[in-house]
């Protein structure tokens, strides 16, 4: 996973998170799980 992907995801979540109310830690867990689920 590239650094830009992580930064983009964080920005996306921080913006949409304000509307949806998603915790930042939830998206971190989601990124981590999806990252380990697929081959690098």
What pLDDT digit, counting tens, does each position of 22-40 carry? Answer: 666 777 777 777 766 555 4
For residues 4-33, give the mean pLDDT.
75
Q: Region 12-31: what's the mean pLDDT?
A: 70
Closest to 9 measured CA to CA, from 26, 31, 36, 25 = 31
> What is the rounded average pLDDT for all residues in the chain?
72
* CA separation for the pair 35, 40 (Å, rounded): 8
């Amino acid at each position: 996973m590239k650094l830009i992907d992580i930064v983009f995801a964080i920005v996306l979540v921080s913006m949409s998170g304000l509307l949806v109310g998603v915790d930042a830690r939830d998206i971190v867990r989601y990124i981590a799980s999806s990252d380990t689920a697929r081959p690098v």
